Amino acid sequence: MKERQNKILKAVIREYQRTGQPVASEILVKKCRFDLSSATMRLEMLALDRDGFLEQPHTSAGRVPTDKAFRLFLEEEEEEYLTEKEQEKMSKKLENLHLQSLRAAAQFLADFSKGLGISGFFEPMADFHEVGLRWLAEEPEFEGEDLKNIMKSFDSLEADFNKFFSDLNEEVEVFIGQENPIKYLRNYSLIITGFEKEDGRGVLGILGPRRMDYQKNKFILKEARKKVQRV
């Protein structure tokens, strides 16, 4: 990929993360201050489309990033994309929280990520929680059937997490869209990590739109895991 196309792709991703709406070439020229004409920008975006990094939803004039684009963005962006000040602010807030239960941990993940917070112990001490549906309901991606499908999945979510994630270690894993082993969650992204305590192994996770802030949510998840393991 050319350097200019890479910059354009990252600009599309950040604008899409901010608005949740397809990004048109005119928006990039005006807002992101590219020294390009709208016609040249359209050609570059068309090339990114052909290479599988952008796609055009329905009849929209704009384009949205694909799973492939988000994966490239995640791999190229450093953890320091989340500023030291932001990290310190979150850490201080977490220090003042009393995560005496896994439900409290799920609530923390939901409130800080504005997504669905997930926490649980695996069998034989099954204790599973999903919190934050109200945050998803405010996102444009979760209108109508999408939100209904997630709600319907709650009955089987615990079993599916046991099936696919019971051997997770303490690394943070990111599943973007179609990468997710749970079929009915492949329109979304899932960030997940395992933890281990004397009374069993468990999991913490954040489910949200594919345009979620991955760096921020990874940091939130790591800090929550530290807290849960200390309690």
CA 90 – CA 95 distance, rounded (Å): 9
In the chain, what are the domains? 3-76 (1.10.10.10), 81-230 (3.30.450.40)
CB 205 within 8 A of CB 118: yes
Q: What is the pTM of this model?
A: 0.86
Distances (CA, A) of 6 to 15, 16, 39, 187, 218: 14, 15, 18, 24, 23
**CA nearest neighbour of 228 among 103, 114, 67:** 103
Question: Where does the pLDDT of residue 170 fall: very low under 50, low under 70, confident under 90, or very high at 90 and above?
Answer: confident
Contact criterion met (CB below 8 Å) for 231 and 100: yes
How does pLDDT run across 66-114, given as a tens digit for each residue? Answer: 999 999 998 887 654 567 787 787 777 777 666 667 888 899 899 889 9
Give the model confidence (pLDDT) of 46-68 as tens digits. 999 999 999 988 766 789 999 99
What would the pLDDT profile of 173-223 be if each residue is shown by its tens digit? Answer: 999 999 999 888 888 899 999 988 877 788 999 999 999 999 889 988 988
Give the per-residue pLDDT at 182: 87
| pLDDT for residue 45 is more than 90 | yes
